[in-house]
Amino acid sequence: MILHNKVDKEVLKCRLHEESFNRITLSFYRFIEIVDPQIFRDELFIQLSEMLIFGRIYVATEGINAQISVPEHQLEYFRKYVNNHPFLQGIFLNQAIEETGKSFYKLKILVKHKILSDGLINSDFNIYNVGQHLDAVTYNEILGQPNTIVIDLRNNYEHEVGHFDGALLPDVDTYKESIPVIIRMLEEKNPDNIMLYCTGGIRCEKFSSYLHHKGFKNVFQLKGGVINYAHQIKQLRIESKFIGKNFVFDDRMGERVTDDIIAHCHQCGDPADHHVNCANNACHLLFIQCEKCANIFNKCCSFECMDHISLPEETQKQLRKGKVHPNAHHKGKLIKAN
């Protein structure tokens, strides 16, 4: 059996849109010792493929990090599989806030050095000594206590479109880059309570244990991250302290939590919070674009890129062959002059 996808992505996308059933987007993670992640990876690929599950999963000796799209009619079977697996038993399955059924179009499972690129050395501290997990109600209550700091562990392009009111928002491109920045902030402020949050919880899980290692007390984390928080505030009909949109790492690019639009189009400055990738494949810059600018720039980040995609495909390929575009290593930062 071939343990990876070999079908062209456009074909896969067409098949996805032709499906006659609904899908449910889930995410989950666990830090757990996996002696042979390759064996686990291959077993996982076989089992999930049989259930027609798509998604992106990272497996390493430190655990698993997954975002998947499950056919609705396979959901209970998948839950049973999870509950019976020694690495996955009791894992918290986080369901998407908004469901389009089009979050993923193929299954990709990779064995990585780590499931979270944090630059930390796990043997230096106890990664299982994590902060206290809080539900939405308790999280909101502690947010209002004096000398309390709430920290967004996501990158700048994520918290630009949505964040907790009053949160510290490190201006960083990566989680790894944020760690020393946040440590310096906390050492300067010396808060009584440290409140952490991220998209689904995994970044808080590792960072809270690192904060304990660094001597910080009263470290709290939002159980299930913003995704689970959004479900709880709707179910319980309580005030959302998170405003705007929750960025997600799949084809949807974001999920609406509140109606507030707190970001702006990177091209004209009008209110907007819709992330896109530049239509020029040589650029592929992730940025925020309003509908007006999408029409003006033909879904590109600049006139230069717009001119590029008007060329024949073969010409485009030749022009980008062996070249690195200036935007290739940037996310959410429009660095070109239009």
Q: In Å, what is the CA distance from 196 to each residue of 115, 149, 278? A: 19, 9, 32
Using the predicted structure, report yes or no on whether residue 2 has a pLDDT greater than 90. Answer: no
Q: Which domains does the chain have, with CATH numbers?
A: 9-111 (3.30.70.100), 122-236 (3.40.250.10), 263-338 (no CATH)
pLDDT tens by residue, 291-302: 999 999 999 999
Residue 71, helix vs strand vs coil: strand
**pLDDT at residue 18, rounded to an integer:** 84
**pLDDT at residue 245, rounded to an integer:** 95
Catalytic (active-site) positions: 198
Residue 312 CB partners (closer than 8 Å, separation 6+): none
**pLDDT at residue 251, rounded to an integer:** 78
**pLDDT at residue 327, rounded to an integer:** 55
Give the pLDDT band (50/70/90) at residue 317. confident
Summarize the confidence of residues 250-265 as an average pLDDT.
Answer: 90
Q: What is the mean pLDDT of the chain?
A: 90
Give the pLDDT band (50/70/90) at residue 330. low
The crossing angle, in degrees rounded to 10, of helices 202-213 and 175-189 is 50
Percent of the chain with pLDDT over 70: 93
pLDDT tens by residue, 57-70: 999 999 999 999 99
Residue 91, helix vs strand vs coil: coil
**pLDDT at residue 337, rounded to an integer:** 35
**pLDDT at residue 311, rounded to an integer:** 86
Give the pLDDT band (50/70/90) at residue 270. very high
Question: Tokens representing 147?
Answer: 């000398």
**pLDDT at residue 1, rounded to an integer:** 56
Q: How many CB atoms lie within 10 A of CB 335?
A: 11
Summarize the confidence of residues 196-214 as an average pLDDT.
Answer: 95
Q: How far apart are CA 265 and CA 260, in angstroms?
A: 15
**pLDDT at residue 326, rounded to an integer:** 52
Element (H, E) at 159: helix 156-159
Summarize the confidence of residues 167-191 as an average pLDDT.
Answer: 92
- pTM, entire model: 0.87
pLDDT tens by residue, 31-44: 999 999 999 999 99
Give the pLDDT band (50/70/90) at residue 336. very low
Instruction: Transcribe 4-17 into DSSP letters.
Output: S--S-HHHHHHHHH
**pLDDT at residue 149, rounded to an integer:** 95
Longest dimension (CA), the chain: 61
Summarize the confidence of residues 306-315 as an average pLDDT.
Answer: 85
